[in-house]
Amino acid sequence: MPQSQIMPGFRPAISFTLLYLSLIVLIPISALLLKSLQLSWDEYWAILTSKRVLASFRVSFVSSLIAAVIAGFLGFVIAWTLVRYPFPGKKLFDTLIDLPFALPTAVAGIVLTAIYEPKGWVGKLVMDTVGVQIAFKPLGIVFALIFIGLPFVVRTIEPVLQEFDTAMEEAAACLGASRRQAFVNVILPNILPAAITGVSLAFARGVGEYGSVIFIAGNMPYISEIVPLLIITKLEQYDYAGATAIGLTMLILSFLLLLMINGLQCWVRNRNGQL
Amino acid sequence: MKFTTLLSSLAVTLLLSGAAFADRSILNVSYDPTRELYQEVNKEFIKFWKEKTTETVSIQQSHGGGSKQTRAVIDGLEADVVTLALSYDIDQIAEKGGLLPKDWQNRLPNNSIPYTSTIVFLVRKGNPQGIKNWDDLARPGVSVITPNPKTSGGARYNYLAAWVFAEKNYGNKDAARDFVKRLYKNVPVLDSGARGSSTTFIQRGIGDVLITWENEAFLALKESAGGDYEIVVPPTSIKAETPVAVVDSIVKKHGTQDLAEAYLQYLYSPVGQKLAAKHFYRPYHPEYADPEDLKRFPKLEMFTVSEKFGGWPQAQKEHFDDGGTFDQIYTP
């Protein structure tokens, strides 16, 4: 409970927060829970362990993980470039990074598919030179998710890099550290918590992403069928219980993941001796 | 954030109320490829109704994959009439939604089917793969585009047509299962609806052959002026019976029963039948259609779902429900 504060308004603020949370988050989630209670435990388990559902979980989680890690590397390089080097058109470039946030994901999906399909510009080039097909394969999902996840990484790393005192690097250099040592021992520990946040946001977003992926994935059962698509497919077969069972599992997994990531972040911060 | 939410909800409200300026309005919820047909039917019907009753009405259309549309109606999309790809979908609205009686199909002529269609192949110019019949689709190296039968009514017709071909030519169910398995091995992308597959084949240039509605294939030919495609009609195919129904609970609520019934009756009228043929649907009364339009329909042997599969509920259960023959194709 608040002691005397300078700003009034604790009551309206907390009631607004609770109302908002209930309407937008808690009530829909409890509806999901209630609906899935129609299933017995055995039925629930049978749905979840059916081969097709397991395969789609594998597709979703593996491709999101790969995409998030790649987005992490790319995002770091981009954030570094944006913070450290002046170049013409930097402001414009900076704005472009946020485009995937604003663009309807279906549009992103259609555009990515057009480019990476076997006859699209990039798709054809890659096909001819390396012999790898991107669109309509699991690889296509990874590409779409990198696109979707990149801004999360850039936008979380960027402010940390901006605040990072270059004097620390200089001090490291003066004390005889090589560039590599300076990076690994000085820069990396400082941005690691932000990087983990960015990557995990990209990962969480990727697991739930639907719009951009369905266009590029090919949607083949067992191979490139993502979990959200399977939920939609179940709904369209009027299998509401099956759809909610998968939905609920996604909810629990996402929650556990977020908890794990928060824990990891705390651990990294403590280890680096900051708060 | 709050302000923009407010603004956008205002905008939505305005948009919705904009539709209510006409005296009465009905919503026709339909499947994917009927857009062009109903745009024209609606225009003619509004004229017809105005002359008959002096009332100005408006008709809204909604299109999408058949199952999605059906689910939307069950979940509360207030459709006055539904014009869907297969009777199974309307049965679901009756059963799961309880929005109309289960014997809805007896209420209009020809089991409530004002026009039919069939399933044909669309191939690239010159038919480089020499596609002639269903067995050509299962040949190694031929790439076939068809949507996912779990979510698309048209795709279910495609699947059943291939199945009947195989059962007839190879003798039994196991052979048929093996055949459709080989055929679906040739499918690189499973879209969720018929229009999605058309886009994949036409805009993306993927695949050697598109299995699709006859009307969709004709439309594709009409829209590609350059003659980039050809229609190949297999000797046998399925008769796609696409039914229509008034949704009783909704028209009672809206007070639009007479209007909705007249609208569906109009589909059977000379004008309605003529428009159906014009838009490449096979009319129930061919005598009302323009003879030139009728000439475009190739002759082929067609069977119905009730003849070969004992009706939709049976076909759905055996082939498309979880664990059915379609799922078995992909089970590793």
- B263 token code pair: 């609208």
pLDDT beyond 60 at B17: no
Give dist(CA A120, CA B300) in Å, integer: 38
The pLDDT, as a whole number, for residue B162 is 96
* Probe site for chain B from A17, A53, A219 (most B CB atoms < 10 A): A219
Give dist(CA B293, CA B308) in Å, integer: 29
CB B88 within 8 A of CB B69: no
Statement to judge: residues A30 and A47 lie in one domain: no
Residues 255-314 of B with CB under 8 A from A: none
Summarize the confidence of residues B5-20 as an average pLDDT.
47
* B179: amino acid identity, one letter: F
Statement to judge: residues A131 and A212 lie in one domain: yes
Out of B68, B204, B330, whose CB is closest to A117? B204
- Give how far Cα A218 sits from Cα of A103, A203, A233, A252, B103, Å: 22, 21, 14, 27, 39
Statement to judge: residues A83 and A32 lie in one domain: no
- Under an 8 Å CB criterion, which residues of A touch B? 50-52, 113-114, 117-119, 136, 214, 218-222, 232-233, 235-239, 242
Count of CB pairs separated by less than 8 Å, A with B: 60
Q: Look at the block and give the residue holding tokens 């594709």.
A: B220
Question: Does the distance separating the beta carbons of A114 and B191 come in below 8 Å?
Answer: no
pLDDT beyond 70 at A74: yes
A176: in domain:
yes
* Probe site for chain B from A47, A236, A238 (most B CB atoms < 10 A): A236
The pLDDT, as a whole number, for residue A187 is 87
What is residue B269's three-state secondary structure?
Answer: coil
Summarize the confidence of residues A229-235 as an average pLDDT.
88
CA dihedral A241, A18, A209, A200 (to 10 degrees): -120
All residues at 6 or more sequence positions from A49 whose CB lies less than 8 Å from its CB, including other chains: none
CB B26 within 8 A of CB B81: yes
* B325: amino acid identity, one letter: T
B77 touches chain A (CB under 8 A): no
Summarize the confidence of residues A62-87 as an average pLDDT.
94
The pLDDT, as a whole number, for residue B22 is 53
A2: in domain:
no
Collect all residues of chain A within an 8 Å Cβ-Cβ radius of residue B320: 237
Instruction: Please give the helix or strand (H or E) that residue B27 lies within, else none.
Output: strand B24-30
pLDDT beyond 70 at A162: yes
Residues 206-225 of B with CB under 8 A from A: 206
- Per residue in B66-82, pLDDT tens? 888 999 999 899 999 99
* B17: amino acid identity, one letter: S
Question: Does the distance separating the beta carbons of A136 and B206 come in below 8 Å?
Answer: yes
Q: Which residues pair with B27 in a beta bridge?
A: B60
B181 touches chain A (CB under 8 A): no
- B176 token code pair: 């048929």
Give dist(CA B187, CA B164) in Å, integer: 19
Q: Would you give the DSSP letter of residue B116? A: E
Give dist(CA B15, CA A97) in Å, integer: 33
DSSP E strand stretches across B178-281: 209-213, 229-232, 236-242, 244-246
Among A93-97, B192-196, B306-310, where is mean pLDDT lowest? Answer: B192-196
Look at residues A215, A48, A233 and name the one whose alpha carbon lies nearest to residue A144: A215
Give dist(CA A82, CA A74) in Å, integer: 12
A1: in domain:
no
Q: How confident is the model at residue A5 (pLDDT cuts 50, 70, 90)?
A: low
Look over chain B and give the mean of its residue pLDDT values, rounded to a whole number. 89
Give dist(CA B89, CA B83) in Å, integer: 10
Question: How high is the ipTM of this complex?
Answer: 0.71
- Per residue in A197-223, pLDDT tens? 899 999 999 999 998 998 898 888 888
Question: Does the distance separating the beta carbons of A242 and B189 come in below 8 Å?
Answer: no
- Per residue in A177-198, pLDDT tens? 888 888 888 888 888 889 988 9
Q: Give the CA radius of gyration of chain A.
A: 22
A141: in domain:
yes
What domains does chain B contain, in order, with CATH numbers? Answer: 2-113+243-268 (3.40.190.10), 117-240+300-330 (3.40.190.10)
Among A128-132, B91-95, B170-174, B226-230, where is mean pLDDT lowest? Answer: B226-230
All residues at 6 or more sequence positions from A176 whose CB lies less than 8 Å from its CB, including other chains: none
- Give how far Cα B38 sits from Cα of A61, A168, B268, Å: 43, 70, 13
Look at residues B142, B65, B151, B154 and name the one whose alpha carbon lies nearest to residue B117: B154
- A158 token code pair: 């960027």
Phi then psi for A165, rounded to 5 degrees? -80, 120
Collect all residues of chain B within an 8 Å Cβ-Cβ radius of residue A231: none
pLDDT beyond 70 at A2: no
Q: How far is B230 from chain A (nearest CA, A)?
A: 21
Question: Does the distance separating the beta carbons of A218 and B190 come in below 8 Å?
Answer: yes
pLDDT beyond 50 at B1: no
Q: How many structural domains comprise chain A?
A: 2
A153: in domain:
yes
Q: How far is A28 from chain B (nearest CA, A)?
A: 16
Collect all residues of chain B within an 8 Å Cβ-Cβ radius of residue A242: 322
- B16 token code pair: 């919705």
Statement to judge: residues A195 and A67 lie in one domain: yes
Question: Does the distance separating the beta carbons of A236 and B150 come in below 8 Å?
Answer: yes
Phi then psi for B121, rounded to 5 degrees? -110, 140
Statement to judge: residues A27 and A84 lie in one domain: no
- Give how far Cα B65 sits from Cα of B84, B89, B155, B156, Å: 10, 11, 10, 12
The pLDDT, as a whole number, for residue A136 is 87
The long-range contacts involving B70-79, CB below 8 angstroms and separated by at least 24 positions, are: B71/A235, B71/A236, B71/A238, B72/B29, B73/B29, B73/B97, B73/B99, B73/B247, B74/A238, B74/B99, B77/B27, B77/B29, B78/B27, B78/B250, B78/B253, B78/B254, B79/B27, B79/B28, B79/B29, B79/B247, B79/B250
CATH of the domain at A250: 1.10.3720.10
Collect all residues of chain B within an 8 Å Cβ-Cβ radius of residue A49: none
B69 touches chain A (CB under 8 A): no
Statement to judge: residues A84 and A163 lie in one domain: yes
Q: How far is A239 from chain B (nearest CA, A)?
A: 10
The pLDDT, as a whole number, for residue A4 is 61
Statement to judge: residues A26 and A47 lie in one domain: no
- Per residue in B132-166, pLDDT tens? 999 999 999 999 999 999 888 899 999 999 999 99
Q: Which residues pair with B118 in a beta bridge?
A: B239
Look at residues A106, A137, A134, A55 and name the one whose alpha carbon lies nearest to residue A215: A106
Q: How far apart are the first and last CA of chain A?
A: 24
Out of A52, A236, A242, whose CB is closest to B151? A236
Q: What percent of chain A has pLDDT over 90?
A: 35
Statement to judge: residues A19 and A106 lie in one domain: no
Angle, CA of A148, A154 and A156, to the nearest 5°:
110
Parent domain of A32: 8-37
CA-nearest residue of chain A to B326? A221
Give dist(CA A180, CA A240) in Å, integer: 55
A26: in domain:
yes
Statement to judge: residues A134 and A24 lie in one domain: no
Residue length of chain A: 275
- Per residue in B299-319, pLDDT tens? 999 999 999 999 999 999 999
Mark residue B227 as left, alpha or beta (left: phi above 0; alpha: psi -120 to 50; beta: remaining): left
A252: in domain:
yes
Q: How far apart are the first and last CA of chain B?
A: 48
A102: in domain:
yes
Query: What is the DSSP pairing of strand B301-303 with strand B24-30?
Result: unpaired
CB A234 within 8 A of CB A247: no
Greatest pairwise CA separation for chain A in angstroms = 70
What is residue B252's three-state secondary structure?
Answer: helix
Q: Look at the block and give the residue holding tokens 């560039």.
A: A179
Mark residue B126 as left, alpha or beta (left: phi above 0; alpha: psi -120 to 50; beta: remaining): left
pLDDT beyond 80 at B10: no
Summarize the confidence of residues B33-51 as an average pLDDT.
94
Q: What percent of chain B has pLDDT over 90?
A: 74
Q: String of b and e for A90-117 (b: at least 16 CB within 10 Å)?
A: eeeeeeebeebeebebeebbbbbbbbbb
- Per residue in A11-63, pLDDT tens? 888 888 999 888 888 898 888 888 888 888 998 998 899 888 999 999 999 99
Statement to judge: residues A150 and A263 lie in one domain: yes
Statement to judge: residues A258 and A214 lie in one domain: yes
Question: Does the distance separating the beta carbons of B332 and A237 come in below 8 Å?
Answer: no
The pLDDT, as a whole number, for residue A3 is 58
Look at residues B311, B332, B320 and name the one whose alpha carbon lies nearest to residue B91: B311
- Per residue in B270-299, pLDDT tens? 999 999 999 999 999 999 999 999 999 999
CB B283 within 8 A of CB B289: yes
Statement to judge: residues A12 and A76 lie in one domain: no
The pLDDT, as a whole number, for residue B18 is 43
